Structure 1
Amino acid sequence: MPRRLLHRLRAPSASLALHLSVVHPWGLLAAVLRAPSRLLDSLTAAHHRYLDRLTARVTQNAVLFPQGFFCDGWGDLNTPKRLWEVLQSNRMREVNVLGASDISWTPRRRLPTARVCLEEGRFASTLPNAKQFLPASSLDAFCELVTPSDWYNDDGSEKAVEDRTLVVLLPGTGEHGFLHRRTALAIPLARRGVATLILEGPFYGRRRPQDQKGSKLRRVSDLPILGQATIEEAKSLLAYCQQHRGFSHLVVAGSSMGGLHAAMTASVFPGDVGATAWLAPPSAVPVFTDGLLAASCNWTSLYKQHELELLDKMLQGHAVTSSSSQERSFLDEDPVQQAKKRMRLFLSITDIDNFHPPRRCDAVSFVVGTEDEYIGARAPEWTTPS
């Protein structure tokens, strides 16, 4: 993407002056900042582990984030069992349909320099029993539709465009709001004639609970609930855009956590949809037990003995964790290791192996980092769908 942007700036001197006179200041700043990044490619390739660790140190800073992830403990201990029952019953394949008027859209506005149009939508979360599982701040979902400006006439009416493609872009860990995904992905895709619908996930951005610090979820159970809500909302948006916005080709995509949720969405969506995930873990388990984010977890709040005993009773005989029964012996282990083993069992519901391959395996593309410090060196790799 940066090469194409720089190529556009290498115009003849006369037209370059005109172009720079109308370019948005933030766009110009982005071009200036991205150009040197190519010079750092060899450095990051050789020392990426140290850079990963340096970045993680910022998010683990005791002054900025004194409580870390899961400061309020495990949360709803029934969550793994409930979600497993949902998966087993195939209810995840059902779509909670959004009617034509169920999404409230802002007036379309143009970004002339980027050559795109933006519309922001708001709708009630389509997670079943959302009020029971989501905080009040997450009950309303927000999305941003980014489309090529040449899809519209000067008077704002839509042109007749056949075979329109839409990418529903899900949030990765720490992706609050729309700006980053709009700049890095949606605008470049629009220049290739592809629209993007950016979803702001629960617990993030305007949907973040007031007592939550940044992306640091306060309870372990918030994580699978966040995932279920994201998947349900993504399915509803895919169906809505196909039925009411005239998109003929659908793709769901995301990076990191968003990539994992994109793969899960493609698995349970009843229609044809492509899926693209990059730098995504196959499960949340290695991220929070072996990867760099493990150091950001508030383990003190997770190894209270009475909670561990109650958690063991909830997980005992659980189908999701039956294959890990050999890990039930916690004697003579330090408290953090005891908590980590329960964490592996609790979050095993987030494993992609619990989901069937999507309808269109030929429309799936996964990009995996071979030495991703955030996922952890011992994490299993993605396998080719069969």
Structure 2
Amino acid sequence: MVAVNLGAAHYWLDHLYGAIMHRMRLAPPFFSGGWGGPKLELLEQMSRQLIAQGLAQVSLQHWPPPAINPVWRTVWESRRARLQEGVFTTPCEEMLKQVLPIESQTARVRLLSPRNVPAHETSCVVHLAGTGDHGFDRRLRLGGPLLEKNIATMVLESPYYGKRRPPLQRGARLLCVSDLLLLGRTTIEEARSLLYWLEAAQGYKKLGICGLSMGGVHAAMVGSLHRTPVAILPFLTPHSAAVAFCEGILQYGTAWEVLMRDELLSGSMTREQVVERMRTVLSLTDVTQFPPPKNPNSVIFVAATVILLSILVYFLPFVFVMCCVSSLIHL
């Protein structure tokens, strides 16, 4: 009973904090540029077509994913490990590239791997970014302990984040709703190509993909579309972005008034109607519409009640390593 009460207190404190941050305008809101006009219409149409055709069937028809050829440089190396950074052109189809910001069309990735151990004797986990996770450092720190287990870590910088961020965007606050769909679609395509590159070009026998929050949603999607079983580790992940923006704390940081006035909508709409429209759009990011994983035994979902979340943060590196090793064992 105490845990339930404390959990409720944390829940309401989170929402109170979000409301205060938004009302005091301490940070710019999400989607201050509106829905995205024709870009959103294009992305909705493409996404609904893929879902109607069946994502499992589409992924088989388009296998292997588009080839990439990263250009690498060594950031540092020691006796035990090496950190490399690679760049490559995003493998998204041309129609998506035309609406993707030029800054986001060049992907950046870092690979932390053990030295003097051939790839076929090691495993590699691709770590995708959560909301607001610019650059590489946070996720690379989690990759350090994996080196002890001969597990490499590949970290992809998301489009719209870090050096891939458009100049008018402040921080992680995407300008348009269409940007969120583009971010997800591009991340999925890049991660699929990276997994295939690690497998086909580098010779890794065991692969995994993971992410926190938004990164976990993308990881679950990518893992489900890979032709062979991979370890999948979504951490503290909702089933879609609709949960975060329509029910969670991000609802307080969303420019609902701008979205209500956007010319994409015909006529005036109430706040409730706009929220429902947002829920419909973001339902396209629902991971439950994707095929089930090839090997459910190699999938670990890490979830927490609100009261346990603050405790889990302190033990995240330990939990992360334990889950990675456990899921890779089942491949």
TM-score normalized by the length of structure 2: 0.81
Between stretches 127-136 and 209-218, larger displacement belongs to 127-136
Check if 1:169 corresponds to 2:137: no
Return 5+ residue gaps in structure 1 as ranges: 1-43, 153-158, 311-329, 375-386
- Counterparts of 1:174-253 in structure 2, within 5 Å, are 174-183=132-141, 185-253=142-210
Between stretches 298-307 and 282-291, larger displacement belongs to 298-307
Give the Cα–Cα distance (whole angstroms) in 2 for the partners of residues 285 and 141 of structure 1.
26
Partner of 1:345: 280
> CA deviation digits over 1:122-151, x for unaligned, max 9?
000111124213111100000000112xx3
Change (3 A) 1:57 1:187: farther
Note the C-alpha offset of 1:279: 0.4
Retained in 2: the 8 A contact 1:124–1:139?
yes
Question: Identity, % of aligned pairs?
Answer: 36
Give the Cα–Cα distance (whole angstroms) in 2 for the partners of residues 106 and 343 of structure 1.
42
Partner of 1:103: 70
Retained in 2: the 8 A contact 1:70–1:217?
yes
Change (3 A) 1:55 1:169: farther
TM-score normalized by the length of structure 1: 0.70
Partner of 2:58: 91
Which amino acid in 1 is paired with 2:225? V
2:110 pairs with 140, 144, 151, which one? 144
Note the C-alpha offset of 1:52: 3.7
Return 5+ residue gaps in structure 2 as ranges: 1-5, 310-331
Give the Cα–Cα distance (whole angstroms) in 2 for the partners of residues 350 and 161 of structure 1.
33
Which amino acid in 1 is paired with 2:11? R
Kindly tell me the number of residue pairs found equivalent between the two proteins: 295
Across the aligned residues of Structure 1 and Structure 2, the Cα RMSD in angstroms comes to 2.7
> CA deviation digits over 1:337-385, x for unaligned, max 9?
111010011111111121110111121111123349x9xxxxxxxxxxx
Give the Cα–Cα distance (whole angstroms) in 1 for the partners of residues 152 and 26 of structure 2.
37
1:272 pairs with 203, 206, 229, which one? 229
Compare relative contact order (CA 8 Å, sep 6+) and give the higher one, 1 or 2: 2
Check if 1:65 corresponds to 2:27: yes
Retained in 2: the 8 A contact 1:282–1:351?
yes
In structure 2, the residue corresponding to 1:65 is in which secondary structure?
coil
- Counterparts of 1:16-95 in structure 2, within 5 Å, are 48-49=10-11, 52-53=14-15, 56=18, 60=22, 62-66=24-28, 68-75=29-36, 76-78=39-41, 79-89=43-53, 90-93=57-60, 94=62, 95=64
In structure 2, the residue corresponding to 1:215 is in which secondary structure?
coil
Check if 1:281 corresponds to 2:281: no
Partner of 1:127: 92
Change (3 A) 1:88 1:163: farther
Give the Cα–Cα distance (whole angstroms) in 2 for the partners of residues 161 and 364 of structure 1.
22
Give the Cα–Cα distance (whole angstroms) in 1 for the partners of residues 8 and 264 of structure 2.
43
Give the number of the structure whose alpha-carbon radius of gyration is greater.
Answer: 1
Which amino acid in 2 is paired with 1:164? T
Retained in 1: the 8 A contact 2:119–2:204?
no
Give the Cα–Cα distance (whole angstroms) in 2 for the partners of residues 244 and 62 of structure 1.
51
Between stretches 351-360 and 126-135, larger displacement belongs to 126-135
Which amino acid in 2 is paired with 1:71? S
Note the C-alpha offset of 1:305: 6.9
Between stretches 221-230 and 287-296, larger displacement belongs to 221-230
Change (3 A) 1:139 1:61: farther
Which amino acid in 2 is paired with 1:85? Q
Between stretches 117-126 and 72-81, larger displacement belongs to 72-81
In structure 2, the residue corresponding to 1:106 is in which secondary structure?
strand
Between stretches 48-57 and 291-300, larger displacement belongs to 48-57
In structure 2, the residue corresponding to 1:120 is in which secondary structure?
strand
Retained in 1: the 8 A contact 2:106–2:164?
yes
Retained in 2: the 8 A contact 1:86–1:92?
no
Give the Cα–Cα distance (whole angstroms) in 1 for the partners of residues 225 and 277 of structure 2.
27
